[in-house]
Structure 1
Amino acid sequence: MDVIGIEKAVSSRLGCSGGLAGGGWRTLVLLVVAIVTSAAALFASFSSSTGRVSIWFSVPFPVLSFYGDVGSNSSTSWPTLPLSHAPPPLARPLLPLGPSSSPVAAAPPSPSPTASFVASETPPSSAHSPPPDTGGTATPSPTEPVNNSINEAVTINPPSSPSEISNAAEVKVPTSLRETELQLIQAKREIADAPMISNDSDLYPPLFLNFSVFKRSYELMERILKVYVYEDGNRPLCHTPVLGGIYASEGWFMKLMQENQQFVVNDPEKAHLFYLPYSSLQLRTHLYVPDSHSLQPISIFQRDYVNSISAKYPFWNRTKGADHFLVACHDWAPYTTKLHNELRENTIKAVCNADASEGIFVPGRDVSLPETHIRTPKRPDSDIGGRPASERAILAFFAGQMHGRVRPILVGQWRGRDKDMRIYEALPADVARKMSYAEHMRSSKYCICPMGYEVNSPRIVEAIHYECVPVIIADNFVLPFQEVLDWSAFSVVVAEKDIPRLKEILLGIGEERYMTMQMNVKRLQKHFVWHGRPRKYDLFHMILHSIWYNRLNQIPVQ
């Protein structure tokens, strides 16, 4: 740089090109120019050599703090920034959400968030190609948006070493993560680091796989979780809960969710989860053609409903439905998602028919919804309680219709063959006059809960309400809340092939063990009861917690 030339120009500009007495002015100008020039050269050298200076002035704090937790395999969208703006990458190991002994299956990879959209462009619609068995190509619904082309920057993984930084033409810093996603990531870390708790005034720790994890997760759910309930959908298919009968779980959840003021938000940008408020029972009632043996009308409705939401709002497309959930108790609920791939594969499905063998229900993502038979909708928490263990003279009891593959085997093996095994098809009239169905459950040590047409049965919750130890016979059934509850503490699971050995298995349980299990069933009741106004740890909150917990399971923390 020509320092003398700069001095002459400055002197001329100030009108003193002739200099000052004794050269004082010239000396002052030279000194100032030299200082400024040296500082500029030093800053340029430092910035190019470290690549870490100007980042603090150009990246908001939340983005920068998250960048330190993104590894080279991150699927986050990275906008282009100059090389000198790239902080060094840091990587942390994935933190497990629960204990290694948890029955939750390994969660599938979380779908990558879509690239940021240009504000003036329409986000692409969700994919909904039919499965191979539909025999054709999906026809777009009238509400399906046109999939406009989006100019997306190519994602470049952040460099993993200083040498890689120096050789790269550009690197990218994440900006696609929203505040709600950062909150979930932080919550998952806090749950993994939950302090050990051995007792609690409200809960009984032995009922849980890892009580400390559940307690911390539940506390964070109450403090953080926000849910947006879509207003879209015509009644009675949507927003119209059915509160009685054996499918009432979906109706009570819908009612209480729509009335809730703690978790529900009106601003979807603040939501961590999005609720699709349709009723599988209402779909069955109003769309199914009797004797048609076709679920197609229901499947088409669900496909078009999701397509209309994904066209109207940006939220579905941001995660391809991974932060959306449905709550449906009808047996057909898992099968009617087949015409929309993202609904079937990504959305959290809280369903009563939680069969892990069919490839639709995925443990660790989906939620096993307890099937509750509500006989008095005005008082869903009535008709609860049973005799103490010392007054239960019947070893085992079952009465019900011959639905599915298991019940005929059970009744054929045990009906009328053993006075300790009260196994009936329909409860005979002469027996019912002496002791009702409910009284049989209140008076039995073990209540047999075989699957019906599908793996689920309302008898499990009935047994819990009547303080009878449930004996569950349904291979491949994912038990409700089994990501947090230890079902071996209060129930017996018998393989279908062991039905002939049923009495032997039950008699093999010692009296002390039975007394403990029966007392645990009584302690468990609070988690399986509906209330007109939700109470802490009740069935509404347990379902919501499982949805929250499984959503966290899908979020990678690196």
Structure 2
Amino acid sequence: MAEVHRPNKNRKGFYVKMKLFRTKNWKLEKPFFIRYFKWILWFSLSFYFFAKFLNNHEFGKSNLKTTIINQHPYRVLSESSLQHQKDNQGLLKDLKVYVYELPSKYNIDWLSNARCSNHLFASEVAIHKALMKSDFRTFDPTEADFFFVPVYVSCNFSTVNGFPAIGHARALLSSAVELISSELPFWNRSNGSDHVFVASHDYGACFHAMEDRAIADGIPEFMKNSIILQTFGVKYQHPCQNVENIVIPPYISPEKVESTLSKSPIDVQRDIYVFFRGKMEVHPKNVSGRFYSKRVRTEILRKYGNDRRFYLKRHRFAGYQSEIVRSVFCLCPLGWAPWSPRLVESVALGCVPVIIADGIRLPFESIVPWSEISLTVREKDVAKLGGVLDYVAATNLTAIQRNLWDHKLRQALLFHDDVETGDATWQVLVALSTKLGRSHRRSRLSSE
């Protein structure tokens, strides 16, 4: 029963007083808690199980065995969310990925250094984070097509030069494989052929920045049967890609790209004809006796350093993306390895990439029409670069820019915190869907 009480003369307004018991048609009704008991009980139990779910699946903190034991109650949650992406299912063939929840020393402990998730090798972090929240993740390993092993090996930055030091990579990865193979059955049943690693380094899973040393060290034996997501790729035989692999783009922050484009739209008038900022050695022979960039960058500096059409800078500048978005052509010469983050930045910011790296395999070549949005110049022809670019500018530059400025290309080369349709992690999943012959689950189902 509700009673309206009037305040005294010195106060304004009124208030309502509710009574727990009330009468209706001269009959005493049941108390509030009795009438709504089942609803209160249902809400309480739902809240309890939801809280328990969050606790058991907090990013990176679950014990391996606990994770396996507690899979099945949550399988329905993952599968029901997949129903909201029927188009995704058609393209990705109901792909399911199990993400190992390794002890934090293998991954998230490294995030104490903010650079770990933002430098050019950070795809290992970005893919892990996106998969953890993805609809394609399964909490039931018996239903997984692939198993993702999240180990961050590029977050140990050298105090001498500030670059990632990956000397510990083999030992850390070996330790992770020993853990998952001794505690769980999934690695041993296929010898790791349905397991996926990220090796976003100069020479992929060879884990060394110098090519001769990388080749000498080779790919660790325990990884040779698995799938490697790597930034390194060439179209000729190379020991560091003699493994099932997918070439992925280096990591560029999508937030930084969007911030740059918010200030300078992609189709703005571009006042820099040819742009390059980066290491260019006057004398390319390194103290190790090796020639940096196979002397290509040195030749660019020597030939075009005084050419007013070429905007060449040797020193670092944090805001250099603002220079890219002003440029018509962006040079992407090889460094120690063929690939470069400039490839992604150029495409994302609408500058025509000029690729100078013989035999390079580019990321997602079946999806990104590289021949329609970039130029390729052979290393030996770098002295003819000016004439090549002038010819393109006078003939088909407008058509190249029209293709390049399609936002879908920018999406395909950028990793986001969540898997977005068409983004880089999505393209990784599409590439994995072409390798379902390695899935133990699929081969088991086909034999039944």
TM-score bracket for this pair, using the shorter chain length: 0.5 to 0.7
Which of 307, 312, 315 matches 1:426?
A: 315
Residue in 1 aligned with 2:118?
Answer: 244
The count of residues paired between Structure 1 and Structure 2 equals: 328
Alpha-carbon distance in 1 for matches of 2:345, 2:165: 31
Residue in 1 aligned with 2:136?
Answer: 263
Which of 258, 273, 281 matches 2:154?
A: 281
Residue in 1 aligned with 2:239?
Answer: 359
- Structure 1 pair 547–493 and aligned structure 2 pair: CA distance change class (3 A): farther
Find the structure with the greater CA-based Rg. 1
Residue in 2 aligned with 1:313?
Answer: 184
TM-score (norm 1): 0.52
**Residue 280 of structure 1: SS of its match in structure 2?**
coil
Alpha-carbon distance in 2 for matches of 1:502, 1:551: 43
Give the RMSD, CA atoms, in angstroms. 3.6
Residue in 2 aligned with 1:340?
Answer: 220
Deviations 1:225-277 (A, max 9, x none): 000111224425467563222223222111111222x1111111100011010
Alpha-carbon distance in 1 for matches of 2:130, 2:167: 30
Residue in 1 aligned with 2:61?
Answer: none
The amino acid across from 1:268 in the alignment is P
- Structure 1 pair 510–412 and aligned structure 2 pair: CA distance change class (3 A): closer
CA contact (8 A) 2:153 2:172 kept: no
Q: Would you say 1:411 and 2:301 are equivalent positions?
A: yes
CA contact (8 A) 2:98 2:147 kept: yes
Alpha-carbon distance in 2 for matches of 1:487, 1:509: 16
Deviations 1:37-89 (A, max 9, x none): xxxxxxxxxxxxxxxxxxxxxxxxxxxxxxxxxxxxxxxxxxxxxxxxxxxxx
Alpha-carbon distance in 1 for matches of 2:180, 2:252: 32
Alpha-carbon distance in 2 for matches of 1:274, 1:466: 34
- Structure 1 pair 236–359 and aligned structure 2 pair: CA distance change class (3 A): closer
TM-score (norm 2): 0.64
CA contact (8 A) 1:334 1:353 kept: no
Name the % identity.
Answer: 26
CA contact (8 A) 2:204 2:230 kept: yes
Q: Would you say 1:456 and 2:333 are equivalent positions?
A: no
Displaced runs of 4+ in structure 1, greater than 6 A? 288-291, 553-557
The amino acid across from 2:261 in the alignment is I
CA contact (8 A) 2:254 2:414 kept: no
5+ unaligned residues in a row in structure 1: which ranges? 1-215
Alpha-carbon distance in 2 for matches of 1:421, 1:410: 10
CA contact (8 A) 2:157 2:165 kept: no
Which of 197, 214, 217 matches 1:326?
A: 197
Following superposition, the deviation at residue 459 of structure 1 comes to 0.9
CA contact (8 A) 1:442 1:468 kept: yes
CA contact (8 A) 2:357 2:378 kept: yes
Residue in 1 aligned with 2:98?
Answer: 228
The amino acid across from 1:395 in the alignment is Y
CA contact (8 A) 2:96 2:138 kept: yes
Residue in 2 aligned with 1:485?
Answer: 368
Alpha-carbon distance in 2 for matches of 1:549, 1:540: 15
- Structure 1 pair 233–547 and aligned structure 2 pair: CA distance change class (3 A): farther
Higher RCO structure (Cα 8 Å, ≥6 apart):
1
Q: Would you say 1:530 and 2:415 are equivalent positions?
A: yes
The amino acid across from 1:225 in the alignment is L
Alpha-carbon distance in 2 for matches of 1:500, 1:467: 25
The amino acid across from 1:226 in the alignment is K
Following superposition, the deviation at residue 388 of structure 1 comes to 5.8
Residue in 2 aligned with 1:19?
Answer: none
Deviations 1:442-483 (A, max 9, x none): 122111111222222111111112111111112232100013
Q: Would you say 1:515 and 2:398 are equivalent positions?
A: yes
5+ unaligned residues in a row in structure 2: which ranges? 1-85, 208-216, 281-291
Following superposition, the deviation at residue 361 of structure 1 comes to 1.6
